[in-house]
Amino acid sequence: MSTGLIPRHELEFQLYEVLDTEGLLNRPRFADHSRETFDSAIETARRIAADKLQPHNRKGDVEEPRIENGKVRIIPEVKAALAAIAEAGFLAAHHDYDSGGSQLPWAVAQACHAQFHAANVATFAYGFLTAAAANLLETYGTEEQKRLYRTPMIEGRFFGTMAMSEPNAGSSLGDVRTRAEPAGDGSYRLSGTKMWISGGEHEMAENIVHLVLARVKGAPAGVKGLSLFLVPRYRLDADGRPAEPNDVALAGLNHKMGFRGTVNTLLAFGEGGDCRGWLVGPENKGLACMFHMMNEARIIIGMCAAAMGYAGFEVSLDYARNRPQGRPVDAKDPDGPPVAIVEHPDVKRMLLAQKAYTEGALALGFYLAALVDDQKTAPEPRRREEALLLLDLLTPVMKAWSADYGLAANQLAIQVLGGYGYTREYPVEQFYRDNRLNPIHEGTNGIQALDLLGRKVGMNGGEAFRLLLGEIHATAHQAEFDASLAGYGKALRGAATVAAEATGILLDARRSSGAAAALCNATAYLDMVGHLVIGWMWLRQALAAKSASPHHQGKRHACAWFFLWELPKIHSLARVLINLDTTAAVMEDAWF
């Protein structure tokens, strides 16, 4: 059976044919690298994914973390896999050499991580949370915090979490109640309860470093009074070794439908009155710091949803190629030999849709990863600024669109396998359960939509959105020089124009008639922009797929499918958005 990993030629296509990842080698930061070192990192990641992660994907689901004698017990394969990942340097692949990293481009690091997501998302979650937390400390931590905490994190000795939500504060972070009081020695005493903390408690690491949002006594109400604290499970002794417990108590485990291998916890901080935390970044600027981690996490969640979608695509493709059933619809002889179901048009449709969704989302993920690299290392300052603008704008799109359509892909994967796909003997039902988390965590998709329409498209006078439209029109223009793609160029241009019109009307309405009417269809707006961006990604891929190779033919064909069956959605959605429809908003509770 198929491994369900992302084929190497797909990753290479995204990095080297659609994007110019090799061009990064001209930048000083990547001077020691070469195409060979990139490929070797990707190949190492593939080996770890296949050998260390995938074999226990099902086991981690069936034998989910549980409490035994007060300790969280997790199957040993998880720790072993994470050790292999850390040892190979994948938790800090893009960090500075000085900080223990390998200075790989973020895009290459994501190509490595995508394979971990596809192989075993629940196990790698401990890794990417730790990497994201380490990254946050790299940016906002003091030198001491970096030395004492970040270094052991990228070495895989300490793990990291982000602790924001509380039982009564999920989407509404302004209602966070966890308190912090200065202890007089530079540290703070924390007290409060945090909910939904992934990786919040286990015995796999020497220490767990929680990044906790809390409110310093006397701070303003709402999100403007939140500060970020580093709260270790164990305090460190003079030599930096974990020593006495830091009054962080496990208050319970959440039992999820999927993503079961990642322990999810309710944590009580400071029940004994002696939980110490150290401020990260300035007081009352905690949310801004946390967003550094969250933005990274949101792109990663999108990649993760795409990769899991891809895994299901691969498994269902393999099944379809090997399952004989039925005959072509024109065949007359009921005794004739059956064909593999991949020959049936409806099965091809389900495979093509999976390909269009997951490779579209992957392309966007790698595009964003390249923006991260540009933002940090592009020689021209203007390009760095542009990269940051596009990154801010597209992060919520990547997170939400990819989560929705990665899941849609997994749903189709089950359908291709039919009854078999519905059984736990095949992996697709687990992908479908695991992937269902992605529209929920790291900010629900509804929150992403509000972020996009309520904040991002209007920021800096709409500069980021104009920039995006410019890039889209540039691709459309390029396509118009290629006879076979000119029609798609025109269609993309038309879609961009109508999306721009809807955007303008919504932004105007927001200024004139208040936020409520403009924002009430934010989800539909994100779906529209998402389809526009993914249509653009498909045209970019088609432009890069000029050869007669089967892989390139498939790319052009999937582009055609997306433009024909999916792109028109932009026009239907825009029509309703342009009318500032309030049908959902004015529905009264009593009418349900």
Residue 363: what residue type?
A
How far apart are CB 549 and its own copies at their closest, in Å?
9
- Gap between the Cα atoms of 212 and 194, Å rounded: 9
- Rule CB under 8 A: which of 246-265 touch its own copies? 254-258
Closest distance of CB 93 from its own copies, Å: 30
In Å, what is the CA distance from 117 to each residue of 5, 128, 311? 9, 10, 9
Smallest gap from Cβ 179 to its own copies, in A, equals 16
Question: How many C-beta atoms surround the C-beta of residue 69 within 10 A?
Answer: 5
From 234-242, 269-277, 414-422, 530-538, give the range in contact with its own copies by CB under 8 A.
414-422
Q: Is 504 in the site for its own copies (CB under 8 A)?
A: no
Of 31 and 257, the one with the shorter C-beta distance to its own copies is: 257
Verify binding: residue 581, its own copies, rule CB under 8 A: yes
Site for its own copies in 436-495 (CB under 8 A): 436-437, 439-441, 444-446, 449-450, 454
Please select the residue that binds its own copies; options are 83, 84, 223, 467, rule is CB under 8 A.
223
The burial of 550, by beta-carbon neighbours within 10 Å (0-12 exposed, 13-18 middle, 19 or more buried), is given as exposed
Neighbour count for residue 514 (Cβ, 10 Å): 10
For residues 289 and 306, the answer to whether their CB atoms sit within 8 Å is: no
Among positions 154-193, residues that touch its own copies (CB under 8 A) are: 165, 168-172, 174-175
CB nearer to its own copies: pick between 239 and 588 = 588
Q: Which is nearer to its own copies, 275 or 559 (CB)?
A: 559
CA neighbours closer than 13 Å in the CB half-sphere of residue 296: 23
**Using CA of residue 390, residue 393, residue 396, residue 401, what is the dihedral sign?**
negative
218 binds its own copies (CB under 8 A): no
**Contact residue for its own copies among 334, 382, 483, 512 (CB under 8 A):** 334
55 CB-side CA count, 13 A: 11
The count of residues interacting with its own copies (CB under 8 A) is 105
| Footprint on residues 394-413 left by its own copies (CB under 8 A) | 411
348 binds its own copies (CB under 8 A): yes
CA dist., res. 490 & res. 477, Å (int): 8
**Is 143 annotated in the active site?**
no
Chosen residue from 520, 532, 542, 544 binding its own copies by CB under 8 A: 520
The piece of 24-32, 148-156, 240-248, 583-591 that touches its own copies (CB under 8 A) is 583-591
Question: Of 181 and 581, which has the nearer Cβ to its own copies?
Answer: 581
Distance CA 503, CA 497 (A): 10
Tell the smallest beta-carbon distance from residue 132 to its own copies (Å): 19
Please state, as a whole number, how many other Cβ atoms lie within 10 Å of the Cβ of residue 528: 24
**b/e code 273-305 from CB counts within 10 Å (16+ = b):** eebbbbbbbeebbbbebbebbbbbbbbbbbbbb
Footprint of its own copies on 352-391 (CB under 8 A) = 352, 355
Residue 522: what residue type? Answer: A
**Residues of this chain, 62-121, that bind its own copies according to CB under 8 A:** none
Interacting positions 260-289 with its own copies (CB under 8 A): none
DSSP state of 563: I
- Cβ at position 327, least distance to its own copies in Å: 8
Quote the least distance from Cβ 371 to its own copies, whole Å: 28
How far is it, in rounded angstroms, from Cα 175 to Cα 443? 15
Q: Which is nearer to its own copies, 137 or 495 (CB)?
A: 495
| Smallest distance from its own copies to CB 510, Å | 10
The nearest distance, CB 315 to its own copies, in angstroms, is 12
Angle at 24 between CA 20 and CA 28, to 5 degrees: 170
Shortest approach of its own copies to residue 532 CB, angstroms? 15
In the complex with its own copies, the residue whose CB is nearer, 30 or 405, is 405
Q: Rounded to the nearest whole angstrom, what is the least distance from the CB of residue 308 to its own copies in the complex?
A: 15
294-323: contacts with its own copies (CB under 8 A): 317, 321
- CA distances to 339, 506, 543 from 501, in Å: 48, 9, 27
| Region near its own copies per CB under 8 A, out of 14-22, 42-50, 234-242, 419-427 | 419-427
| C-alpha span between 266 and 472 (Å, rounded) | 44
Candidates 29, 179, 433, 546; binder of its own copies (CB under 8 A) is: 433
Nearer to its own copies, 140 or 562 (CB): 562
Token code pair at residue 518: 């403009």
**Judged by CB, which is closer to its own copies: 17, or 247?**
17
Q: Which segment (71-79, 374-382, 487-495, 511-519) binds its own copies by CB under 8 A?
A: 511-519
Q: Is the dihedral of CA 196, 202, 204, 208 positive or negative?
A: positive
349 is a contact residue toward its own copies (CB under 8 A): yes
Q: How far apart are CA 400 and CA 412, in angstroms?
A: 19
Torsion angle (degrees, nearest 10) of CA 148, 153, 157, 160: 110
Q: What H or E segment, with its residue span, contains residue 405?
A: helix 381-417
Give the span between the Cα atoms of 591 and 295, in whole angstroms: 38
Neighbours of 179 (CB within 10 A): 17
Contact predicate 505/562, CB 8 Å: no
Touching its own copies, residues 521-580 (CB under 8 A)? 521-524, 550-551, 553-554, 557, 560-561, 564-565, 568-569, 571-572, 575-576
Which one of 359, 442, 471, 480 is the catalytic residue? Answer: 442
Q: Which two tokens stand for residue 168?
A: 């009564």
Catalytic residue numbers, as ranges: 442
